[in-house]
Amino acid sequence: MKEAGETNTTTERSLAQEIGTMPTGRPGDVAVFPYLVYSEFLAALLCSIVLMVWSLTVAAPLLEQANPGITENPAKAPWYFVGLQELLVYFDPWIAGVMMPTLIIVGLMAIPYLDTSTNAVGRYTIRERRLVISHFGLGFALWWVLIAIGQFLRGPNWHIYWPWQDWSMVKNPEGAMWDFPVWVGLPLLIAYFVGGFVIPQKRWPWLLERLGTARYVGSITLALLFYGVPIKMLLRLLFNVKYVLVTSWFNI
Q: Average of pLDDT values for 108-137?
A: 82
- Band (45; pLDDT cuts 50, 70, 90): very high
Model confidence band, residue 168 (pLDDT cutoffs 50, 70, 90): confident
pTM confidence score: 0.75
Q: Mean of the pLDDT values across residues 33-59?
A: 91
- In the predicted model, what is the mean pLDDT of residues 78-85? 90
B/e letters for 199-219, b = 16+ CB within 10 Å, e = fewer, are: ebeeeeeeebeebeeebbebb
Inter-axis angle of helices 100-114 and 213-239, nearest 10: 140
Average the pLDDT over 52-74 and give the result.
Answer: 84
Give 79 or 170, the one with higher predicted confidence: 79
Over residues 186-219, the pLDDT tens digits come to 999 999 999 999 998 888 888 888 888 899 999 9
More confident of the two residues 148 and 249: 148
For the chain, what percent of residues have pLDDT higher than 90?
A: 40
| Domain definitions of the chain by residue range | 4-57, 82-243
Write down the pLDDT at residue 26. 63
Tens of pLDDT, residues 139-163: 999 999 999 999 999 988 888 888 8
